[in-house]
Amino acid sequence: MSKTKTSFFCQNCGYESAKWVGKCPNCDQWNTFVEEVIVKGSDKKEKDDWKEYNGVGKLKTISIADVSSAEEKRIVTNDAELNRVLGGGIVLGSIVLVAGEPGIGKSTLFLQIGLQLNDITTLYISGEESEQQIKMRADRVGIKSEQFYLLTETNTQTIFQEIKKLKPQLIIVDSIQTLQSPFVESGPGSVSQIRECAAELQRFAKETNTPVFLIGHITKDGNIAGPKILEHMVDTVLQFEGDRNYMYRILRTLKNRFGSTAELGIYEMTGTGMRAVSNPSEILITQKEEQLSGIAIAATIEGMRPLLIEAQALVTQSVYGTPQRTVSGFDLRRLQLLLAVLEKRGGFHFGMKDVFINIAGGLKVEDPSIDLAMVSALLSSYEDMPISQHVCFAGEVGLSGEIRAVNRVEQRIAEAEKLGFEKIIVSKYNSKSLSKLKFNIEIISLAKVEELYQYLF
């Protein structure tokens, strides 16, 4: 007799449980379990793979020495930033998840990439927008392509029928949350639907060697159901991020079976689509006529690329009893730590001041080497004395006020030199390994934040 099997899934992390539970034992979220049908009254035949254990079954196992080590074939797109984050182009038969908040520009970017692939039959499957809406967007982006096909459909079986007829060489699915497989009962966007649809597409990708991009929405905290549960199924996970109020967007590799995960691509959202930014440092630094206090340039490394970023600080007299600390693009706890170091080691009374911090361009910086520039910006605003525009900084600040060495310092110095800086301030411990002769830029090495203050003012 056929039986319908159901299971409970955490909608936050995808954890499966036979019974309903209030709190997810995996991610500790409350009230996230929803019952989903996993097998529709099936007549799946029982398989007993061990039966032929002693039989003459053909050996499928293969010695690693016999596997041919052909380089994976790649489609190299016109978009240098995308090629970079994928590790040199789209690998045939790979399945790539692109996750990002709604409205960040995922549909625009992948529509554009598909349209640019002129000699490759691309199928763009949309469950979110009508053909007219996509056409309007394509007109706005202003790229024409004869090889770009649209399909507004959510049923995976219908989709596969269309794919069989068209035989596309690249498939973009926008978005995975809208797809629906007839083999699973629960609604689109549920954990079991997303899993099943992705599994069907993955099988298709591997069997036909067609690359598939899956676009997936995430919320602000980045871990709502959907994309998260797919991370282990797909070959590559790209995250598209940025502040919607700013024009810069970052495409970051979180996982990549065919390349490095330390890569990132930078785009600028314009009125006519996404524009790849090939020299990010030059635009991230605002060019000013006069020198202003509270600004310092950090030579950071984002992904594999050196990036010069402007750190901005505003220190003002506190009006209320509790001073304010407001950050944008920088970790609040990190700021509090730096302020405590300055208070204790340098005797600056930030306890009476409001402090506002900003990273220009709406970027989020994770590289700790921005500390030194941040401290300099704070001191500059505190003293209301500007720092020369020709100086940049690369160093981490430790709890005892020591300036710590940063990795890949040569690359940072080379980038600063290329952009016309005259001086770069680094840790004393970095300069030991540096051959100063190679650079035309003056390298100043300091050991403590006290020395930094004396040097700057």
Identify which of residues 109 and 374 has a Cβ nearer to Mg ion in the complex. 109
Subset of 127-186 contacting ligand TYD (CB under 6 A): 137, 140-141
CB of 173 to ligand TYD, least distance (A): 12
- Regarding 55 and contact with ligand TYD (CB under 6 A), the answer is no
User: Which of 218, 107, 91, 104 minimizes the C-alpha distance to 152?
Assistant: 107
Binding segment for ligand TYD among 63-71, 97-105, 148-156, 260-268 (CB under 6 A)? 97-105
Give the residue, chosen from 41, 42, 57, 102, that forms a contact with ligand TYD under the rule CB under 6 A: 102
- Regarding 190 and contact with Mg ion (CB under 5 A), the answer is no
Identify which of residues 100 and 280 has a Cβ nearer to ligand TYD in the complex. 100
Size of the site for Mg ion (CB under 5 A): 1
- Regarding 321 and contact with ligand TYD (CB under 6 A), the answer is no
Identify which of residues 74 and 106 has a Cβ nearer to Mg ion in the complex. 106
Identify which of residues 12 and 178 has a Cβ nearer to Mg ion in the complex. 178
CB of 131 to Mg ion, least distance (A): 15
CB atoms within 10 A of CB 313: 25
Give the residue, chosen from 12, 83, 107, 210, that forms a contact with Mg ion under the rule CB under 5 A: 107
User: Which of 227, 163, 155, 238 minimizes the C-alpha distance to 194?
Assistant: 227
CB of 116 to ligand TYD, least distance (A): 14
Give the residue, chosen from 107, 180, 281, 430, that forms a contact with ligand TYD under the rule CB under 6 A: 107
Query: 327: burial class by Cβ within 10 Å (0-12, 13-18, 19+)?
Result: middle
Give the residue, chosen from 269, 295, 403, 413, that forms a contact with ligand TYD under the rule CB under 6 A: 269
420 binding partner (options ligand TYD, Mg ion, none; Cβ < 5 to 8 Å by kind): none
CB of 111 to ligand TYD, least distance (A): 7
Q: How far apart are CA 439 and CA 416, in angstroms?
A: 10
Binding segment for ligand TYD among 41-49, 104-112, 223-231, 438-446 (CB under 6 A)? 104-112
- Regarding 108 and contact with ligand TYD (CB under 6 A), the answer is yes
> Which residues of the chain form contacts with ligand TYD (CB under 6 A)?
100, 102-108, 137, 140-141, 269, 271-273
Which residues are near Mg ion by CB under 5 A? 107
